[in-house]
Amino acid sequence: MAVNQLELVFPFDQGFSELLASFKNNFSVNFQAETVNYRVFYDTFDWLLYNNGSALEAHEEGPSRRIYWRADKDGDLKIQLGLRQVPQLASDLAECEFRRQLKSVISVRELLPRIKIKIKRLPLVVLDKNKKVVVRLSFDEHWYFPSKTRAGVVLGKRITIKPVKGYEDEHNQVVEFFRSLQLHEARDNMQKLALAESGISTTEYTTKLNLLLEAEIPAEQALKQVLLRLLDIMQQNSAGSIRGRDTEFMHDYRVSIRKTRSALTQINKVLPRDIISKYNKFFSGLGKLTNPVRDLDVFQIKLESYQRGLSKTAQERLQPLRDYLAQSRAEAQKEFVNTLKSAEYRQRIKEWREYLENPEPTDPPLEDTRKEIYKLADELIWNMYQLALEEGSAITDDTEAEALHELRKTCKKLRYLMEFFQSLYPANKISELIQALKGLQDNLGEYNDLYVHGGILEIFIKQSSDTDAKKACKQMIKLIERRQTKTRRRFAERFASFSSAGIQQEFKDLFVESQKERL
Amino acid sequence: MKVIAIYNIKGGVGKTATAVNLSYLASLDGANTLIWDLDPQGAASYYFRIKAKVKGGAQKLVEGKQGLEDAIKGTDYENLDLLPADFSYRDMDFYVELTKKPEMHLNKLLKPLSGEYDYVFLDCPPSISTASESVFDAADVLLVPTIPTTLSLRTYKQIKKFFKQEHYDSMKILPFFAMVDMRKQMHRLIVEYPPSFMPGVLDSYIPYASEVERMGINRAPLGHFSAHSRAAICYKSMWDEIKSHLYPTA
Ligand SMILES: Nc1ncnc2c1ncn2[C@@H]1O[C@H](COP(=O)(O)OP(=O)(O)OP(=O)(O)O)[C@@H](O)[C@H]1O
Ligand SMILES: [Mg+2]
């Protein structure tokens, strides 16, 4: 078994043969057949493990699979896990310390094989006079193939010396031999080296738009950049959404659809009408497909906390509900997948990209097409903020829930506009206002989730014949209603802080006054 | 950690050959594997070219984790270690002690190794000694190689009876047919129609084959020098079958 194996760096550009010859003069060795092994590093789509300094890797040697986990960069202790395969989700694992650690880093995200290193290995053994193996060595070449079309590169050469239990003296002699050649001890940096070769950025993925818009460019150009970035995010997340295991893909996919629609309908005097109506229809259809999946995902996440308010027996009676949720989700997911895999979908997306990438200005222009973007952004944001204030102030303790729903949508539109054009404003100021808005949005969002979840339970109750489960669900609805009341009570306070004189002034400074300064 | 004992009161039925070949196959899966040569004759140690000698005598083994660790030797194969036999076992009647003294119970001796090994194979000596009880307790499965002859079947019945009497879990017992010679009428009959008292007999059986005897000359597991021989393939399918017993859902 490999206990304290020693790994040495061998110069990149030299062959092993000379060294092997000299080694053979000193020890009785036996060469074994060359093998090809793999080291596969697993990570989430957005490299959560790598960015956390942890690593999860599988060593594939013939039919054997070993899985190692390193919790963080500083804890260089790599432990072998008693697993036969890498889990897809943290929740696939039974309750254990590893699951806890993994979950704290990757949350609900799915693990994928991200970096595969091929190790061409020449193993040899040192024998004693009874022809018993007493030390095991290997001369390894680590290869990385960045893509199917690019040639492989050698990341490094290594000599590994593994002691055999009970033969420590022989091991020390071999180590001595290599030490005298002044070879450095290797650090485990293969993943890093491979990443450098791959051109992959481990920090690039973000759902933030991170656009750097220039203030004076025409609105059309700016809007196309925003929409293109949203399309990128959508496409980055479509394969994962189709797989459907990691709910974050669908979430990010869906948010970029919503932002796209919001951009098309709020910034509606820039692009030609026929374009707006065509794509608004298309994305609205897509968005609708994602609604039931996402609602059920969120509900399932929340279910754990809802059912805590029920008795143990009532909780156990919820199995039919869980089955119903799983089945409904599977059906909704299937419909979504069918659409995403259709030729029509691909064609539409392709056309959309072509349209956005085409630099040709719209001719004849619409009212805002050529307006400088900072002016348009100011107007749009300011108007939307006014609308939010108006809607919010009209809400009292006995206003219909419908009004809260409207305000929630308005706040979302405002939020998206602020995010689209974030780079046009001083970073600290705009993010402060986004934070203020977020406080209110969280409250409205929670209220809405509770409303949707009550609705899911109502539908289940209507179609189920299991009286016990129905009874438990009715209890749960009561609990949800109680939470809704509480959430609603907090609204006034949240809205008050969002509409305070101070915040209003800051909105005004940023989106009205700054224009004057510019002039 | 799963403990797999290869056991039969009868001698020369292929226990050691089985322990050596299966432990080798386990190590090929990438599982950390230990084979404990419990037979003072040291046949398993011999197959792995390791001297049947524990420094300081078998007494050392019961002196906690360090005692065991110091005695373990790496074999010629990765992931496969061996705890050698010791000739002095015989003198001190190690086996009697194994059961009588609670601190020498196999279960207890093996416990500190559980983090390190996925499998421990116990190559048991042929005997009816009371020490067997320690093995029965510690083992997750008890593989019983049985030659398909009337006499061997009787022995198997005795083992089962003993299990019942002493209230051991008989589900642990996995018999299989060993040294099967299908040219012999009696072998063929018994293998094809196993008696009703062997309901759990494995589907895989080990044929009588000269390659198995050659293990002694090569001093290596069969899979190492004759991986494609019929007998090697039979050991392989037996190992797969045993794993499906150990991990029913997988
Ligand atoms: N399937 C087989 N075909 C042919 N010969 C075999 C087979 N299995 C074992 N042998 C041979 O039979 C002899 C006894 O086998 P082995 O040592 O494995 O049995 P055992 O049950 O461990 O014996 P003991 O009771 O003495 O420990 C050995 O010489 C071995 O090579
Ligand atoms: Mg034997």
Q: Residue A396, by phi and psi: left (phi above 0), alpha (psi -120 to 50) or beta?
A: beta
Residue from A324, A332, A330 nearest A470 by CA: A324
Does A34 reside within a domain? yes
A-chain CB neighbours of B75 within 8 Å are 133, 164
Q: How many Cβ atoms sit within 10 Å of the Cβ of residue B141?
A: 18
Burial A173-188 (b: 16+ CB within 10 A, else e): ebeebbeeeebeebee
Residues A178 and A227 in one domain: no
Say how far apart CA A104 and CA A100 lie, in whole Å.
6
Interface of A with B in 144-183 (CB under 8 A): 162-167
Q: How far is the CA of B95 from the centre of ligand 2 (A)?
A: 15
Amino acid symbol at B23:
S
Supply the CATH number for residue A425's domain: 1.40.20.10
What is the CA(B237)–ligand 2 centre distance, in A? 22
Structural domains of chain B, ranges and CATH numbers in brackets: 2-246 (3.40.50.300)
- Asked if the C-beta of A68 comes within 8 angstroms of chain B's C-beta atoms, the answer is no
Q: Is the per-residue pLDDT at A191 higher than 60? A: yes
The separation between CA A3 and the C-alpha centre of its own chain, rounded to angstroms, equals 36
Same domain, A138 and A269: no
Whether the CB-CB separation of A443 and A494 falls below 8 Å is answered with yes
Mean pLDDT value across chain A: 91
Cross-strand pairs, B175: B144
| Interface mutation target, options A165, A169, A174, chain B, most CBs of B under 10 Å | A165
Please count the structural domains in chain A. Answer: 2
Domain annotation covers residue A387: yes
A391 or B67: which leads in pLDDT: A391
Q: Which of A132, A168, A174 is the best residue to mutate to test the B interface, defined by the most B CB atoms within 10 Å of its own CB?
A: A132
The answer to whether the Cβ–Cβ distance between B78 and A2 falls below 8 Å is yes
Lowest-confidence range among A20-29, A58-67, A438-447, B60-69? B60-69
Whether A164 and B30 lie within 8 Å, measured CB to CB = no
β-strand partners of A81:
A67
Query: Which H or E run contains B118?
Result: none
Q: From chain A, pick out residues whose CB is under 8 angstroms from the CB of B49.
A: 130-132
**Which of A198, A228, A246 is the endpoint of a domain?**
A198
Among the atoms of ligand 1, which is closest to the Cα of residue B231?
1
- The answer to whether residue A1 is domain-embedded is no
| Site from B36, B68, B78, B225 to mutate, A interface, most A CB atoms within 10 angstroms | B78
Identify the pLDDT of residue B91.
44
Q: Could you read off the pLDDT of A111-155 as tens digits, one per residue?
A: 999 999 999 999 999 999 888 999 999 999 999 998 877 888 999
Three-state DSSP class for A205?
A: coil
State both tokens at A368: 């805002």
Cα-to-centroid distance, B169 and ligand 1 (Å): 27
User: Within chain B, which residues score under 50 in pLDDT?
Assistant: 91-92, 250
* A107 backbone φψ class: left, alpha, beta (φ>0; ψ -120 to 50): left
Q: Tokens 């005004």 map to which residue? A: A508
The residue whose CB lies within 8 Å of the most ligand 1 atoms, and thus the one to mutate among B22, B135, B212, is B212
Q: Judging by DSSP bridges, how do beta strands A29-31 and A35-43 pair with one another?
A: unpaired
For residue B110, how far is its CA from the centre of ligand 1 (angstroms)? 26
Closest CA to A435 of A455, A459, A419: A419
Is residue A208 one of the residues assigned to a domain? no
Cβ–Cβ gap A64/B250 under 8 Å: no
> How far is Cα B117 from Cα B65, in angstroms, rounded to an integer?
13
Burial class (CB in 10 A: 0-12, 13-18, 19+), B243: middle
Among the partner-chain residues B28, B30, B72, the one whose CB lies closest to the CB of A165 is B72
CATH code: domain of residue A21:
2.40.320.10
> Would A399 be classed as within a structural domain?
yes
CB A408 within 8 A of CB A445: yes
- DSSP secondary-structure letter at A364? S
**Do A294 and A161 share a structural domain?**
no
Q: State which H helix or E strand residue A39 sits in.
A: strand A35-43
Q: Determine, yes or no, domain membership for A408.
A: yes
**Cα nearest neighbour of A164 on chain B:** B74
A77 sits in the region (left: phi over 0; alpha: psi -120 to 50; else beta) called beta
Ligand 1 atom closest to B10 (CA): 25
pLDDT digits (tens, 9 = 90+) for A275-331: 999 999 999 999 999 999 999 999 998 998 898 888 999 999 999 999 999 999 999
The pick from B13, B176, B182, B204 for probing ligand 1's pocket by mutation, whose C-beta has the most ligand atoms within 8 angstroms, reads B13
Domain membership flag for residue A385: yes
| Same domain assignment for residues A444 and A501 | yes
State residue A315 phi and psi, 5-degree precision.
-60, -40
A261 and A146 fall within a common domain: no
User: Pairing mode, if any, of strands B33-37 and B80-83?
Assistant: parallel
Q: Are residues A190 and A224 in the same domain?
A: no
Question: Do both A101 and A249 map to the same domain?
Answer: no
Q: Specify whether A373 is located in the same domain as A496.
A: yes
Pocket test for ligand 1, best of B18, B123, B213 (most atoms within 8 A of CB): B213
Residue A270 domain boundaries: 219-518
A166 and A291 together in one domain:
no
**Tokens of residue B98, six digits:** 């194994």
The proportion of chain A whose per-residue pLDDT surpasses 90, expressed as a percent, equals 75
Would you state the structure tokens that stand for residue A367, as one six-digit string? 């009212």
B116 contacts A167? CB cut-off 8 A: no
Please state, as a whole number, how many other Cβ atoms lie within 10 Å of the Cβ of residue A170. 19
A282 and A235 within one domain: yes
Query: How far is A108 from A199, CA to CA, in rounded Å?
Result: 26
Do A362 and A255 have their domain in common? yes
Contacts of B200 (CB under 8 A, 6+ apart): B171, B173, B174, B175
With the C-alpha atoms ordered B60, B62, B63, B66, is the resulting torsion angle positive or negative? positive
Distance CA A137, CA A139 (A): 7
Question: Closest residue of B to A163, CA-based?
Answer: B74
Contact B79 A1 (CB under 8 A): yes
* Residues A498-519 pLDDT 10s: 999 999 999 999 999 876 566 5
What tens digit of pLDDT does each residue of B1-43 get? Answer: 999 999 999 999 999 999 999 999 999 988 899 999 988 888 9
Number of the ligand closest to the Cα of B11: 1
Residue A6 contacts residue A160 (beta carbons within 8 Å): yes
Q: Tokens in use for A389? A: 């204030």
From the CA of B161, how many Å to the nearest CA of chain A?
36
Range of lowest pLDDT (A5-14, A334-343, A483-492, B215-224): A5-14
* Residue B147 neighbours by CB under 8 Å, 6+ apart: B10, B13, B14, B177, B178, B179, B180
Find where tokens 């956390």 sit.
A52
Q: Which atom of ligand 1 is nearest to the CA of B12?
A: 23
Whether A176 and A273 map to the same domain: the answer is no
In a domain, A120, yes or no: yes
Q: Which of A163, A198, A233 is the last residue of a domain?
A: A198
**What was the pLDDT predicted at B203?**
94
Interatomic CA distance for residues B39 and B86, integer angstroms: 8
Pocket of ligand 1 (CB under 6 A): B 11-17, 39, 43, 125-126, 178-179, 206, 208-209, 212-213, 215-216, 231
CA dihedral for A178, A180, A182, A187, sign (positive or negative): positive
Nearest to B81 among A63, A133, A165 (CB): A165
Q: What is the pTM of this model?
A: 0.70
- Per-residue model confidence (pLDDT) at position B250: 46
SS3 at position B35: strand
DSSP A129-185: TT--EEEEEEEEEEEE-SSSSSPPEEEEEEEEEEE-TT-HHHHHHHHHHHHTTTPPB
B5 C-beta neighbours (distance < 10 Å), count: 26
Nearest CA to ligand 1 atom 29: B213
Cα A233 to Cα A208: distance, rounded to the nearest angstrom: 9
| CA B238 – CA A326 distance, rounded (Å) | 39
pLDDT score at A357: 95
In DSSP notation, B127-147 reads ---TTHHHHHHH-SEEEEEE-
